[in-house]
Amino acid sequence: MSRAITTTRVYEAGQPLSERDLAGCLAAFDSNTPRSFVREERADYERFLAALPGPYWVVREADRVIAAGGFAREREDASRVSLCWGLVHRDAQGLGHGARLIEERLDVIDRRHPGCTVAIITSQHTQAFFARYGFEAVKITPSGLAPGLDEWIMRRPPPQ
């Protein structure tokens, strides 16, 4: 059985997403609600997509977005970069798309921003995934994102 070909487009800061990619990113977000995101976050995600603060990868397989994620340098602390709105469509999870997406983003961060710490806000459902890439929890707030959805603030130190 052959798999569909995946394609990736990287949008740079301020570049508008195509209508097709915007709709696909929102569909991928919706597929992860309410397990990973709460419905109220959708408006925040739409605002983020309308004004990207840094590069944002959109991964398509056939005619649908299967993964997306980006990063941005933090305004308050130039020594830190934050991963932004990384997600894999619920139907495409467990197939390595998330791993490829984070590896690509971390590689670009390490090249563009050497010596920077990388931060992520995530939940109890995905913290173990990020731990595999060197992220360590610095603060855990039970139900900090929503009832039953814990907030995990994690950081990865710069590579040595």
Neighbouring CB atoms inside 10 A of 41's CB total: 17
pTM of the predicted protein model: 0.91
100 pLDDT more than 70: yes
101 pLDDT more than 50: yes
| Region 107-127 average pLDDT | 95
CB 144 within 8 A of CB 150: yes
Q: Compute the mean pLDDT over every residue in the chain, rounded to the nearest whole number.
A: 93
Q: What is the model's pLDDT at position 3? A: 60
Higher-pLDDT residue of 89 and 2 is 89
Q: What is the model's pLDDT at position 66? A: 95
1 pLDDT more than 60: no
| Region 7-23 average pLDDT | 94
Higher-pLDDT residue of 122 and 3 is 122
Local confidence band at 4 (pLDDT 50, 70, 90 cut-offs): low
Q: Mind listing the domains of the chain with CATH numbers?
A: 6-156 (3.40.630.30)
CB 37 within 8 A of CB 89: no
**For the sheet containing 117-122, what is the strand order?**
6-11, 56-61, 64-73, 80-88, 117-122, 149-156, 136-146
| Region 146-159 average pLDDT | 94
